[in-house]
A and B are shown apart, each in its own frame.
Chain A
Amino acid sequence: MRIVVLVKPVPDTASGGERLRPDDKRLDRAATPAVVNANDEYALEAALKLTEAHGGEVALVSMAGATAPETMRKALAMGAASGTLVTDEPLGGSDTVSTTRVLAAALRGQEYDLVLAGADTSDGGAGVVPAGVATLLALPYLSYAAKIEPDPAAGKVRVHRISPTGYDVLEAPMPALVVATQALGEPRYPSLKGIMAARSKTIDTKSLADVGDVGGGDGAPDGVGGAAATTAVLGAEAPPPRAATRVIREPADEAARQVVAFLAERRII
């Protein structure tokens, strides 16, 4: 099997330094260290387990800034075989429409049985790109997977899709696009061997021109990148601080009484 995993470098949540650039209100990617988006790591882990079980290899596809290879190496160290990065100056400030079109165009040049994507990213958090990519490529779309069971011989994949009441078992022919969730299992840590091996793995860097047609299909307007963005950030500010914390250090019964009184005061109970 060949599985493509969509990955995005995002600011490290733990760094606490995320901010927008004051001039153009775009994410200041220089202000924080980048990591592989956590939900994408679940997708990658699932892909690696599937290729370990069924044979084949995992390739990464990303649209990101020029420094992305540094972050993609971490995903290669986990076990992906190679990567494709679409990076180009005009793509800065891309919205989800652009990202969807560029990733779809990049996938048109790839062979795969499955595309795996994370449920959303920790920076923008939109979670709409995977459905859009599947739509543009007319791939079966299987979202919010808690389990992925491919049957390469039959050319089919089964997915347990988390539903409000449990899960639905979906079945589709491959190639298909599957949205991974954390329920698929913990991402592995790269081994030292993996880290060494990642250094010599190929990341194929492509410009916008290299990926070809990024039109949105019939009737949709062309154009990608910051200049074509359908959305614009007007402003950003830190949220108002929460009120000071009231600390209760009484014995359990008295503490409980005070909490219940507080909840009643706030009309929560």
Chain B
Amino acid sequence: MAGAIWVHGETAPDGSLAKISTEVATLGRALADASRRDLVGVVVAAEPTVAANELAAYVPRVLAVTEPATTDHAAGTIVGQRLAALIERDAPSFVIAGAGPEGRDVAGVVSALTGWGVLVNATGVRWEDGPVVEMSVFGGKLNTTSRFTGDHGIVTVRPNVVTAEAAGAAGKVEPTEAPGELSLPQVPIVDRVAAATTAAPIEEARIIVAGGRGVGGPDGFGVVEELAQELGGAVGATRAAVDAGWIPYAQQIGQTGKIVKPALYLALGISGAIQHKVGMQTAETIVAVNRDPDAPIAEFADVVVIGDLFEVAPALLAALRDRAG
């Protein structure tokens, strides 16, 4: 039988399964169905049980590897080595992972150890004698389709590309040990520091309310945050707002920040320069509030309100609250 399709089950800081992995697993199932191949999830963590059980809702079989070293060491290199060892043992054909920082680290290590190629940041994957991977490149100016030249490869998938959907029946979790030693240097985590803000992560948010230079200062983000809260979304920002120190880098969207694909992107005081556009233009719906009718964002938003954000944003907040009753 042709080699299996593997899904990398990433764990969130609390030990549960990362949301991206539910999406990756759903995509993996579609590819396994189309190719009539086995589908296997793999979780490598200090305590993999919780995440492995969650992953089993999506895939028929989950390998759970207990790896104590990830408790107090940077996980990417360790998880990558274990995954590469299991790949050598079980000989799957393809591995699918999330395209976030953790997935990238793991994909980089596995690729280096196996020599397998990587198709990154997939915005869609279908099966035609192998995974055919769509990606958005050059900041969204082109959509490419690519494939592997051989029978193996690693695909990383962007958040919000697939809607997670559990399988009809739960799969089974198999505790297993990855063969071999961890030969690469382990990097100790000497301290874990929680961010001062408890801002929701933007990569996986369904709704993002973002502020740019037009917000005017850190206080200006107050209304951005209120709107995000009312909409159940996360707060994003442009590089200008981050560079000015108004909001942490973790919230930055764009070329040197994060690339997001929410259902709604509400842009307040954001001109829509190319460096920002590349991070958010694949949002399903873009609504902008800007004083300047000639701002670039007015060319690609679905709706643009021409006006002062400090008048429009509070009015929006009031209208949303009215509607919520």
Contact = CB atoms under 8 A, between A and B. Distances in A.
Interface of A: 11, 13-14, 16, 18-20, 25, 38-39, 42, 95-97, 100, 119-120, 122-136, 138-144, 146, 158, 160-173, 176, 181-183, 186, 216-217, 219-221, 229-239, 242-243, 245-253, 255-257, 259-260, 262-264, 266, 268-269
Interface in B269-294: 274-275, 278, 285-287, 293
Interface in B76-97: 76-77, 80, 88
Main SS at interface, chain A: mixed
A238 B142 contact: yes
Contacts of A135: 77, 80, 108-109, 112-113, 184
A132 B110 CA distance: 8
Interface string B303-325: 11111100110111011100100
Q: Is the interface on chain B under 10, 10 to 19, 20 to 34, or 35 or more residues?
A: 35 or more
Contacts of A165: 13, 192, 194-195
Interface in B233-281: 239, 242-243, 249-250, 252, 255-257, 263-264, 274-275, 278
Contacts, number: 299
Main SS at interface, chain B: mixed
B118 interface: yes
B106 to A, nearest CB: 8
Given A138-B183, A141-B76, 11 more contacts: A16-B141, A25-B144, A95-B117, A96-B120, A97-B117, A141-B74, A181-B249, A230-B148, A234-B144, A236-B145, A269-B320
A242 B304 CA distance: 13
A245 B146 contact: no
A255 B80 contact: no
Contact of B144 (A167, A233, A266): A233
Given A142-B74, A168-B189, A242-B302, A260 B323 contact: yes
Contacts of A251: 307
A262 B306 CA distance: 16
B119 interface: yes
B231 interface: yes
A118 to B, nearest CB: 9
A220 B109 CA distance: 13
B112 A131 contact: yes
A168 B192 contact: yes
Interface stretch (B25-33, B34-42, B50-58, B130-138): B130-138
